[in-house]
Structure 1
Amino acid sequence: MKKNYFKSRLFLKYIWSYLFILLIPLVLMTIFIYQNAVSNLRTEIEQSRLNQLTQAKVVVDGRVKELSEIASRVSYDKRLTPYRVHDPIFSGEAIQALDQYKSTSSIIDEIYLFFHKDGKIYSSKGLYNLDVFGNTFSFKSWPTDKLFEDLNAVKYPTMRPADTVTKSSNMAERLLAYLIPITPNNPVPHGTVMYLIRESELSSLIDTVLGSYRGLTYILDNEGRVLVDNRQDEALSASAAASLIDLAPGIHDRTINGQPHSIVSVKSETNGWTYVTAMPSSQFFSTVLHVRSFIILLFSIIVLAGAAIALLLARMQYQPISMLVEFAASKSNAKRPHGSPDAAAPVNELDRIRSALQEYSSRVDLQEPFARNHFLSMLLKYGNAQSLSPELQQSFGLRFDRSHHFVAVIGSGEPGDSPNDRQERQAIIQLLNQIELPELQASGYGVELPQLDQLGLIISFDLDAGAETFGRVRRIVEAVQGRLADIAGTVPIIGVGNCYESPDQLNQSFIEACSAFELRSSAGFGTVTYFELLSDAPDRADWIPNHTLMKLSQSLKQGSYDVAAQIIGSAIQSLHATSASALLTRCVCFDLLNTMLKTASELGIHSVVQDMSPAAIFGNSLDELERSFLSLASGICSHVEQNALKEEQSLMDRIAAYIDERYADHSLSLESVAFTFGVSPSHVSRSFKEKIGVNFLQYVWQKRLEEVRLQLRTTGNPLKDIIQRVGYQDTPNFTRKFKKETGYTPGQYRKLFAENGEARQLPEGDDE
């Protein structure tokens, strides 16, 4: 059925919110764009001109640099020495060489070579007497005598401004003259190379700067003279043009000829020339008129599109909320029968979701102790505390940032199932859940182990410089003993593992604590066994200490391959470092082998002996023996893991069968089942969910619910009797849970299936 979102006030709020969010910035943005259109467009055009002018400068500088390089090559060209040029035999080669140099640059109109105090001047077309040259080329602003004087006296490259040149054919054109003394950079030059360059050649390089805009472009030398004048529709006076040289590189505003202009200036670092382009500011406003029309059109389109997008976004945002509401209604609120009094009540989606979250939060709070215990159990089994999720550590209130860590195993030696034993165990668990010993700079976290008579305790503490580690561990254990004595009256048996600086090694300390607990010298209450004190080192250091073999055996029993591999590796490495004989080394290795085989036998794993590689006994080297031992340890740990899984599955199946038989017992609880089967409640809670698929309470509830539904469909017994018969004593609470699960009250459910399970119209009221 199609949903009508517009009936939801929340959905309408989303639409208005999106429209408000869209329109306010859009209006402000439109005003801002319109107000700043002139300056933005102007800046863009000016920046574009600046980039183009910079590009033109690079091109012109490159061409001028080519001319300097040509002059340098001319000065060192043997064909153009004074002797060869004057020699009638070689003069033709000189003229040909000049023609070749001319063709290497696209801007050269003609190239001339003049030697000081010489009566002739040479070009790519031939040689001229100075009188003939003066009559052939007439510069409007450069008299002939001044020209010859400059040819003899020029000391550094000089570019003369564009000038009108009249040739003998009465043809006039504007040319620039570029004089370069040769040899270049020589304080006493012996000649001059003169280039004639058409002004149009340089102006064509910068024509692209103006584009479709009116304006003018100048190239000024470092003395402020206009070298190239490329104008469109207007011109500057000589003084106004000369003032442009004082402008700093960049973009400027100036009034020229009574009109505001935008001026862009670029200065060449190579020769000091200044490139300037000026454009009337009025050209910007013609573009803005087009922009204004475009903005109005764009604004209208955006408003219409924004309304459609607001509707789409509101629907997209509301849809997951609608799905959450449906989920909350199906999981948290009972399905209201048709015709119920509050069926038409206004829907507050967020309140419904909030109620569902609160309900799920309460469920999480109930499961948190079991999750926390599972987290710590994994830490004891595998170590690697630093790699565990920091978010989980924070949510469980766990910290492992102290300098030293160890594990203690606390137990009574035998499980008890009396009410007093349960109460005492619960008090100890509550105490050890998070124990603080500020006077010893220590804190600890309790862990419920699978064995009902044992608890684990992870202790972290800071050790002052120079303090004795074992002494601090002993004091901490004694403090824990005192706390336990205050609660239980008697102190349980405690096994203590070695202390490590890294929490990643807590699994090793746990194995050692289990070994110490198992190998305690006394079974009496209050006994504390330290693994460190179990070490009865043999006379020779070559032999493996007994406590190491104990730790190896315990690690195999726990299925902890990482710890077993480390013990084997350390033992083999120690043998590498000794100078013991081959026979003694083999005997020492037999200690490791016998320990593993004995442990396998105790665990009932007899197949490892048949599958064992001969290299484990007859290995030729320690490395080969180590590989064999590691393989054997891996096999034993794998069998332990597999057996544990099978036993776990079998245990959970037996517990499920136990619940199937006794679910109607109102005293049935997680704790009572755990004590019946001799395992910890935390272990039952975690493993039951993993193996059966639902948690313990859900499983019991489902069994009771199925029986109640069957009784409602098939009998006419009173509801209260049925509920009490399946183990519930709180009838109102059961009725609420039943309605939450099925959507109907028990009375409605009975009426619904009264006639062979065929549904019929329910009354508006409830008979219960």
Structure 2
Amino acid sequence: MYRYLLSYLIIFLIPYLTISIVFYQMSVQSLREEIVQSNTEKIEQVMDFSDSRMQELENIATRISLDHRLTPYMISHPYYSKEAIEELKSYKVNSSFIDGLYLYYHEGDQVYSPRGSSSMNTLVNLVYEIKEDEIAKFKTDMETVTEATVHPVSLISDNNEQNHIISYLYPIPTNNTFAIGTLAFLVKESTLKKLTQNVLGEFKGNMYIFNEDNELLASSSTGEKLGAEKVQKLAKGETGVLDKTINKENYSLVTVRSEISDWTFVTAMPTAQFYGKMDSLKLTIIIILSIIALIGILTTVFMSFRQYKPIQSLAQSLLTKSKENLHRKEHKDELKSIQEAIELMHEDSEQLHKKMKVHQPLIKDQLLSLLLKGDIKRKTEINDLLVDLEISFNGDSFFIVLVSFKDRIMEHESLQSREKVLELLTTISYEDCVGYGVELIHDNAVAIIVNINENDKDVNEIQLDFVKELRKKLKEYCKEMPTVGIGKIYEGLDWINRSFIEASASIEYNLLNNNESAIYFENITTAEGNPFWYPAEDQAKFIQSLKQGDKIVARETLKNIITNVKEQDASLYMLRCMCFDIINTVLKNTLELGISFSVEQIQSLTEFKTLENLEEILNKLIVDICDEVEERKESHNNLLRDNILNYIHKNYKSHELSLEFTAESFQLSASYLSRFVKEQTGKTFTQFVWQLRNEEFKRQLKETDKPIKKIVLDIGYVDVANFTRKFKKEEGVTPGQYRNHH
């Protein structure tokens, strides 16, 4: 109960805490970003305006530099000077930002403005009253400037307050190291201050504008003033938001730097005021989350007590119906008891269903192969799988038709035709029969499990009609008619493997006797004139069961042979000869399979005392022979897997590599190879090849300087654009972006 309660609390608390933390962080961070963004945007507006004005002044300077009416000759000429002054006046009118516009040519003392000409001393002493200690620097700048510069210039003031004017100096001509003059734009500090008034708004703080040399151009403040020199050092640092302690008080500084003018714009506000809205939001969120937590915990406790009762009842019900679970009750709680009971009931079924969803075509072939082997342990689950795989067995009568291509596939065209045959034989129906084919790669054949619907017609006639129709279709698709063997008709899924062994025996009999027509197992009879011998059909069935590794049919057929020998009215010597013939049959076929026996095993065979003793010895050998056959089939599968995967690894860069080309190389059908690769790698053939090519492509991107197009061609692709689209879809970036990132 306490574990159950604890689990409910954990289920509630994990998402609650996760969502709460994420929500809290996102809300606070969102508001923080909004505050920063809002303040940054205000400063950027000032920056954009000043940048546009600077650009405007630069354009005016360029136009003046190129204006033939403002050359040294024209502007100093007695007649044309009036026209030049008018021209300067028109340039000043174009900009409301500047307070004064002055044109000065080196080696002269005259400064020209829209109001006329005056001496340099008049400009610095009377017009603007520049402080005496800065006059020399101003004049020097006017004489020597070679590039656009901006500097603050201190003016004489009646009170103690600092008064500045901003000088924008441009060489004439602009962007030329050999300047012949200087164009000066003078802007009052108050003009820049007006730009900063809306930045602070209702907040108390300070706003500063520094030029590229970190000189203060303009400043404004509301509330406590900060010394410009304290902020001046911080203005040299990185842009963004910075929290600093100034005058023992926490301030938040927002710094923006213009990429055009290289000016720095800084606002400094008390941190408590800067993030004031954020503190109130934090308190509100904490209160709301606390209320939700309280309600959630109370609900969790209530629901856990309520939901525990039916679980306890269910556990008791399951325990009373299972002696095994009753025994476990002493060691495990109700939840584990229920879990184990459900797992025991559905474990095998769930595994089969999961495999079938992923590998449905492969499961279908495996299921049909199990039916051929007679490996049926749970009939109910087999029937459910048949329904899920859309295999419809409406009757109880079954027989096997084995279509063998052995020694008949010689050319490329034959392989292509066999693909069509395999597609035909996957599902084939005729009147009262429906058959489902499965490819037997080891035998180079296709086995068709044929089900006969229940009706009043004779099953043998139905079988004959089905085989005739099948052979008719095979003639249409095959250049060379494959060998067809037909097993007996049996009732029930359990007996399908008997019919399969019989069909295999019919194929071998057909090949040995060079018979081109289909042969039924019933037609294999004893030789004429041999009244004292066991039936040849039992011998053929026994041999095939050994070759197929089917212990059940082999033991069953051996029992029939021994019983037949017992019933023979023959002499002791004749019976012994028949027994040695059985022994010879076993030894001869095991030698054909490449299986050898020890001297002790052969000795025990020849020294049998009774027929029962011989049957017992042979049954032990049958187990060894069938186990060896199964191991060899598995070994063959492993070898085939290794060869196919090695082949793909070796040739995945080839443009010719394809499913069909690979299947032809290994003398397999494309459908079988596709299923085989899916079974061994968990991926389709195309997905597996793409994975190899993609890994090699990424490796070359990281480790080589080859062009992307060449790498694409190297790994087996011709269409570079198509590969690039697929790569971006898989990796989320283009090949070029991937290379840059790595």
TM-score by length of 1: 0.48
